[in-house]
Amino acid sequence: MAYKDLRSFLKLLAENNQLLRISEPVLPEPDIGAAASAANKGLGETAPALIFDNIKGYGKAQLAINVHGSWPNMALMMGLPKDTPPKAQFHEFCRRYQNFSKGVVEERKTAPWQEVQITENINLYELMPHFRLNPGDGGLYINKASVISRHPDHPDERNVGMYRLQVKGPNRLSAQFVPEHDIALHFQAAERENKPLPIVIAVGNDPVLSIVASMPLLYGQYEFQMASALHEEPYPVVTLENGLQAPWGSEFILEGHVIPGVREPDGPYGEFTGHLSGLRNMVSVEITKVWHRKDPIYEYTSIGMPWTEIDYMFLNTCPPLYVQLKEKFPERFIRMALSSSFLRRRGLVASARRSACPS
């Protein structure tokens, strides 16, 4: 790949006229959310990523949004020409997905995010340019983080997942772990023994990691290995003192743990369908250490009434379904299942014209 991390991918986007830098002063609310929505709704399938570097109240903070928010951006993520059609992107994604077993996780001793380390007086409100994307959101969210965990009794059962996190205090978060998620199974095992579950939260990642962290892989399939398969080269990580592997190319690394026996209110939150979720009790996370690059880039995802950035990221859902169905059922069933109407229900396409998969 021509990039190794978020900032080198942003450079690649700029070289392909797929990045718009906004240096005029903006308010966190409503300017950032309004700009992301305008990019998607106004420019459609060729919308650029946006980076803000003059956010009122946040000094020199930089915020990137809509990084995955168009077919050209998704093609560049895969190392393809930016005009590669969605259907061709889908088939290339399937090909690489099937090379999962060839993925290699490469251990490194140091990473760029080790430039700054904070162990005392952690204040997430100051470290990141937080804002509410939607007026009805119940608080401030980190919504594009890759969360790393492993089963406390079976260390080889590891997971990297994308879970929304609500900032509840300077070093406290609530987290939405659906019971079926891998990390929820890890936490259930730890909580049964009244032990905290160590986790790592990576923010500002290379775009492939964000894709695999939100991909429906099978339990036990390690996302870093899948990232290697999609990159078609070894995926670099650094092992922390808690034994968890952190991605080499992140902007922020937060070390912490999920607290056993504690639940706290989380939400409401603007979902990808365009509605607000309810208020629910979710698990509580304490952050004990923060690492970050100098002048880090905070990444957020545009989400809401389709189409937004999250809808292009749904490309990661169809290849696993396609490959797994093809292995289990006759070819005729696959052709029926992957009709344009089926794909619309999966969120990959908004119309038959946009269909990215074969009929």
- Residue 135 burial class via C-beta count within 10 angstroms: exposed 0-12, middle 13-18, buried 19 and up: exposed
- Tell me the average pLDDT across 257-268: 96
Using the CB atoms, write b or e for 70-104: b if 16+ within 10 Å: bbbbbbbbbbeebebebeebbebbbebbeebeebe
Of 8 and 329, more confident: 8
Domain boundaries, the chain: 7-92+308-354, 100-300
pLDDT at 349 over 60: no
* 90 in Cβ contact with 357 (< 8 Å): yes
pLDDT digits (tens, 9 = 90+) for 76-115: 999 999 999 999 999 999 999 999 999 999 999 999 999 9
SS3 state of residue 124: helix
Rounded to an integer, what distance in angstroms lies between the CA atom of residue 60 and that of residue 56?
A: 10
pLDDT-derived band of residue 204, with 50, 70 and 90 as boundaries?
Answer: very high
Nearest to 269 by CA among 283, 279, 284, 282: 279
Rounded to an integer, what distance in angstroms lies between the CA atom of residue 14 and that of residue 132?
A: 27
Report the pLDDT value the prediction gives residue 336, as an integer from 0 to 100: 61
Report the pLDDT value the prediction gives residue 358, as an integer from 0 to 100: 36
Nearest to 174 by CA among 262, 261, 254: 262
Nearest to 289 by CA among 242, 247, 249: 242
pLDDT digits (tens, 9 = 90+) for 47-72: 999 999 999 999 999 999 999 999 99
pLDDT-derived band of residue 339, with 50, 70 and 90 as boundaries?
Answer: low
CATH number 3.10.560.10 given to 100-300: no
Cβ contacts of 353 within 8 Å, gap of 6 or more: none
pLDDT-derived band of residue 359, with 50, 70 and 90 as boundaries?
Answer: very low
* 148 in Cβ contact with 202 (< 8 Å): yes
pLDDT-derived band of residue 357, with 50, 70 and 90 as boundaries?
Answer: very low
Nearest to 208 by CA among 340, 309, 298, 93: 93
Report the pLDDT value the prediction gives residue 307, as an integer from 0 to 100: 85
Helix ranges restricted to H, the chain? 6-15, 33-43, 71-77, 86-97, 124-127, 182-192, 207-213, 223-231, 309-313, 318-328, 331-337, 340-346
The chain-wide mean pLDDT, for the chain, equals 90
Report the pLDDT value the prediction gives residue 8, as an integer from 0 to 100: 97
Rounded to an integer, what distance in angstroms lies between the CA atom of residue 70 and that of residue 304?
A: 15
pLDDT digits (tens, 9 = 90+) for 144-158: 999 999 999 999 999
* 52 in Cβ contact with 83 (< 8 Å): no
Q: Which residues are catalytic?
A: 271
SS3 state of residue 199: strand
Does the CA dihedral 268-270-276-281 come out positive or negative?
negative
Report the pLDDT value the prediction gives residue 329, as an integer from 0 to 100: 73
* 69 in Cβ contact with 78 (< 8 Å): no
